[in-house]
Structure 1
């Protein structure tokens, strides 16, 4: 299997200047006549979370994986200099399609990356050939969803967000979780195949945590409980749309995914039996054929 190191050795990740900030991305695929695919990671991840998908999709399509601003190798400016919101990230993806890809693209996301690609597609339908969302974040701590929780859970999460707003406490909390053993433990909850939680994966996720500004980005996002929900954005999509969902995801319940799948704009809901929150990395041999079939059927290109 091609690893992140193999991809990096054969082709160094590239850089793009967006609004004065450095953005890192990786690409695979040399056929300039092929449709483009842009892959967008989830919270705390980077383009490397698609390292098992890029070389496979890139055999046929022009495939790109981008680091959202604030994550991976991309710049991590102060929240005072940029707003870490889905509108910001959606604009970043749209501008990437315009300036780097040079054409409309199929947008594929995982976790919060799903909301990013949906936002990009809603705001820029002319740049979007289709949307594939893999275990979309349902944003259970969003203000509109917290009011439906028991008072003690709603109150507790609100207090936690305020506490993390204290810079000293936020820094201390971040340092406690930004440790290999802790990250591994969290991933073993999210993944259902423990062998997929490799040293390579841990290293990939840990490295950006030591970048200047990483703590501030973490705190800014953990306190972000506004903005769009997937149920707001999905009905507005006018492009082919599919949802893939690992049925054993402990963070984003598949029952909520099935409800999203009932929205008229969704062409198909695909349950990925026995998989967790990041199926594209946990079981690429399952996810890649599904994406390839969808791309082939939707684009009529093979």
Structure 2
């Protein structure tokens, strides 16, 4: 990694072009990789990046098929494979050690990556991480093989509407402005994403089990919103119980999008956790 300050690029991983961004102020700064959630992108970290980029080299990745990453129907969209994409990106950038920060589904991907490569990822921060979800119901998986099923997915997402979806993930709705709506809506202007989401239904294997979580020994910080309607705070408490070296913290009057709702507080918690003595 010999480039400085900010740049964005793509890396071909498993045959698809994966979009990533690098914020690098000082060569000696520790590396932090930010992993977004389902139906999201690196955009969700826009408020905490400015608060952390002085002390960390920050790398954001758009997981397939989200954000600016190629929307492929050939890629296997399992959490295991997404974790491998994160690993390959780190390896391709010659990173030897890094911290992982994952929001929602990105938390589950981060846990997968940490489990696969404990030598590469030193610590994990989970922001309202998904947990204990089973694989897709067989009937839905069967539906993904039906021609034009992707149009049903498109119709369902359109019927929800971006404002309704954002109202569900933030507690303080006054935070929702045009910039926020545009940022979360942009990846869905490309129709290819719905075909890829159809493939994702087929590939989804479910979250890590309690037994698998107990094998993840890296220190982990769990940050939640008490009013999270998507992944209830009880899931975070259960994850803390299963992850052997974990710390849990929750914010009052906060929903699922903690990086958007509490950027200063979240950044402070992350900073304190990552720079404390090993």
Match in the other structure for 1:64: 59
* Shift, 1:257, TM fit: 1.6
Q: Distance in 1 between matches of 2:177 and 2:70?
A: 26
How many residues get paired? 274
Match in the other structure for 2:154: 174
Alpha-carbon RMSD: 2.3
* Shift, 1:101, TM fit: 5.3
Match in the other structure for 1:258: 237
* Secondary structure in structure 2 of the residue aligned to 1:262: helix
Match of 2:89 among 96, 107, 112: 96
Contact 2:133–2:206 (Cα < 8 Å) also in 1 = no
Q: Distance in 2 between matches of 1:264 and 1:20?
A: 33
* Shift, 1:161, TM fit: 5.1
Contact 1:87–1:119 (Cα < 8 Å) also in 2 = yes
Q: TM-score, normalised by structure 2?
A: 0.89
Q: Distance in 2 between matches of 1:88 and 1:17?
A: 14
* Shift, 1:107, TM fit: 0.3
Match in the other structure for 1:195: 174
Q: Distance in 2 between matches of 1:101 and 1:277?
A: 33
Q: Please say if 1:291 is aligned against 2:257.
A: no
Match in the other structure for 1:114: 107
Q: Deviations over 1:109-164 (max 9, x none)?
A: 00110111111111111111100111111254536xxxxxxxxxxxxx65455445
Match of 1:54 among 26, 30, 49: 49
Q: Distance in 2 between matches of 1:190 and 1:231?
A: 26
Contact 2:140–2:201 (Cα < 8 Å) also in 1 = no
Q: TM-score, normalised by structure 1?
A: 0.83
Q: Please say if 1:28 is aligned against 2:16.
A: no
Q: Distance in 1 between matches of 2:202 and 2:256?
A: 22
Match in the other structure for 1:4: none
Q: 1:136 to 1:100 in 2, by over 3 A?
A: same
* Shift, 1:39, TM fit: 0.3
* Secondary structure in structure 2 of the residue aligned to 1:171: helix
* Secondary structure in structure 2 of the residue aligned to 1:16: strand
Structure with greater helix percent: 1
Match of 1:186 among 155, 165, 176: 165
Q: Distance in 2 between matches of 1:174 and 1:232?
A: 36
Q: Distance in 2 between matches of 1:141 and 1:175?
A: 24
Q: Distance in 1 between matches of 2:201 and 2:195?
A: 10
Match of 2:221 among 225, 238, 242: 242
* Shift, 1:233, TM fit: 3.7
Match of 2:98 among 88, 92, 105: 105
Match of 2:254 among 272, 275, 278: 275
